[in-house]
Chain A
Amino acid sequence: MSKALLYDATLCVGCKACEGACAEQNKLPYDETIAAEQVQSDHKFTVVLNKNEKYMRRLCMHCQDPACASVCPVGALHKTAAGPVVYEEDRCMGCRYCMAACPFGVPKYEWSKVLPKVQKCVMCPDRVAAGRPTACTEACPTGATKFGEREELIQEARDRIRQNPSNYVPHVFGIEEVGGTSVLILSGVAFEEFGLKPNELPKDPLPLYTYRVLSRIPDFVPLGGMVLGGVWWITHRREEVAAAEAAEKKEDRGGSR
């Protein structure tokens, strides 16, 4: 069983308490200027977007089979059994493939530092391990962000839509997208308004796309070796035969004389 977050945009009042709590939890600066920034960045792991008094909270989706973890050549990112996708700074060599691969554009980089690290929401792994909710959940005054078992939260999200169909877009974002995520989102307005594209995101986990190709390599190597060796043997054998025949002919001629 793994933990997840359910964010219900219809309950969100845009107070940004989650932003502040996250900054505190991760020892990041937080003030009015930062609060006004409408993007995730190396110093802001979660953001409450505001469009005409409609809100949408964005943070790392903690994919069930995360693209970022799959591409990292040194395994600096990985999904824990408890749910969070965490980052080990000492491993990272800064190739930024995780940033290129993440379908939600989540990992951010410390561009201004000489020795930068990747920054993103890690779902407060220490708290989660201790059985506590994430900092952002705890700070949320309206219950718009809820912490719990993923299966139960999915159930609850579906119930909320069923009980109040006029309030919601009939879709729980995160059940199926890219193979499922540990952050589930309910919304009253089209997800596309906030750049979430449930119709464009594949249902398969993205790592499958590369793994389909990668998994052939172990067969390819011995096979390729055999084929190339075979070609070499044939092309050079022909030469040997030709040489031998030529020599034979010469001998024949020599003998008949």
Chain B
Amino acid sequence: MKFKLTFWKFVFAVIMALGTYALFVRFTQGLGASTNLTDQFPWGIWIGFDVLCGVMLAAGGFTLTAAVHIFNIKRLHAIVRPTVLTAFLGYALVSIALVIDLGRPYRIWHPLVMRNPHSVMFEVAYCVMLYLAVLSLEFSPVVLERFKLEKPLKYIKAALIPLVILGVILSTLHQSSLGTLYLIMPTKLHPFWYSPLLPVYFFISAIAVGLAMTIFESSISSKVFGRALELPILRELGRVMMVVLGVYGILRFEDLFHRGVLKLTLVPSYEMYLFWLEIALALVLPLVLLCIRKVRMSAGGLYLSAVLVVLGFITNRLNVSITGMETSAGQHYIPKWTEYSITAAIVAVGFALFGLAVKYLPIFEDTEHAPEEANAKAIAAAATAMSHAGK
């Protein structure tokens, strides 16, 4: 294969170079030199984005496997593999991000032997670990097929339903637990976001984002990999997403009302603007769009709504973990370049690995039917850049 430098390969290379250097700074000079974290503000974007958003964005894995294997919605079957792959990569990268954020990364195994079951963090750690194992088993048929290993394939297929059930339970637990993490901070988190319902919100929003990510990915991959878009499937996902968003919106505003915070949402403040940004992106705009039949039926409309939902809930998680903490901390937190660089590199690696996996493994079950040429192009900037960067 001949190497050709394209724009995206170049961007990828720059991101990786910066990220590597930032990583070097992080591990040789410590967190103080590589982050803008302080005693008042101990958690930054590595927790707020890499972990909270990362886990949320990987939520497609359990929503879709549940829909297909438990609720038996067969039409969605075609997109199970790419979604499980995304989930697997997502969780793997979240774990890496966590290692980078830990002050003593080499002790990451400590929760295995030093248990504190009263700690939400402990529970999250266990769920994520177990779920990563479940995801790799759920994904393993793809690899086994590729190498034609019939026997293990049979075992996995037999165990699939229990695995899926286990996966859904583990996901429900840790998706909501990420919200529970903040329940212990009633005096610190701004009332827009502190609510006894936080675990419920985190869970529902994970479902909404799981659906949105599935729409988003199918749309993108249909473009990049030249596959026919499964429009009827996406329409169905869009409809479900609309219902989920509706439920979330009603809960959220009723809760604000009952806690007497609703009137605060009209008093100008730093938090107010970010609150409304979140609500506009995650709820208002996508709901309005999806209510219009023509939009809901079109590929472009669904894609746009999905992107809005994803951005909206990313804003939500950043609001919970950063915006909502700033007043009580008495300081603004703006990440350092090192923090951005490492986050960007992790995201880039995710894209690259996805590209590689699609190239070498039967992820899209109909890939063989896709024209070879489109496929070759498909490998995408990231994938090639990745394999070359390695040399």
Contacts and interface: CB of A to CB of B under 8 A. Distances in A.
Contact of B103 (A72, A109, A217, A224): A109
B116 A72 contact: yes
B349 to A, nearest CB: 23
A72 B119 contact: yes
Interface in A224-251: 224-225, 228-229, 231-232, 235-236, 239
B111 interface: yes
A222 to B, nearest CB: 9
Contacts of B117: 214
A111 B183 contact: no
Contacts of B70: 228, 231-232, 235
Contacts of B188: 100, 103
Interface stretch (A145-153, A166-174, A194-202): A194-202
Given A73-B111, A105-B39, A94 B103 contact: yes
A91 B199 CA distance: 28
Interface of A: 39, 41-42, 67, 70-76, 91-97, 99-101, 103, 105, 108-109, 111-117, 197, 200-202, 206-207, 209-211, 213-214, 217, 220-221, 224-225, 228-229, 231-232, 235-236, 239
Nearest to A195: B330
A239 B111 CA distance: 44
A108 B40 CA distance: 9
Interface of B: 27-33, 37-40, 42-43, 66, 69-72, 101-105, 107-108, 110-111, 114-123, 125, 161, 165-166, 168-169, 172-173, 176, 180-181, 183-188, 196, 199
Contacts of A220: 169, 172-173
Contacts of A197: 187
A197 B328 CA distance: 12
12 contacts: A72-B116, A73-B111, A74-B122, A75-B119, A93-B103, A94-B103, A99-B39, A100-B43, A112-B32, A114-B29, A202-B187, A217-B173
A198 B31 CA distance: 34
B109 to A, nearest CB: 9
B110 A74 contact: yes
Contacts of B176: 213
Nearest to A67: B184
A116 B349 CA distance: 28
Given A111-B38, A210-B180, A228 B121 contact: no
Interface of B is mostly: helix
A231 B1 CA distance: 49
A71 B172 contact: no
A102 B265 CA distance: 27
A96 B119 CA distance: 13
Contacts of B72: 232, 235-236, 239
B215 to A, nearest CB: 23
B119 A202 contact: no
Contacts of B183: 209-210, 213
B40 A105 contact: yes
Given A91-B110, A206-B184, A115 B104 contact: yes
A66 B107 CA distance: 23
Given A105-B39, A112-B32, A210-B183, A73 B116 contact: yes
A70 B180 CA distance: 13
A71 B186 contact: no
Contacts of B166: 225
Contact of B185 (A101, A113, A201): A101
Given A100-B42, A217-B173, A114 B102 contact: no
Given A67-B184, A232-B69, A210 B120 contact: yes
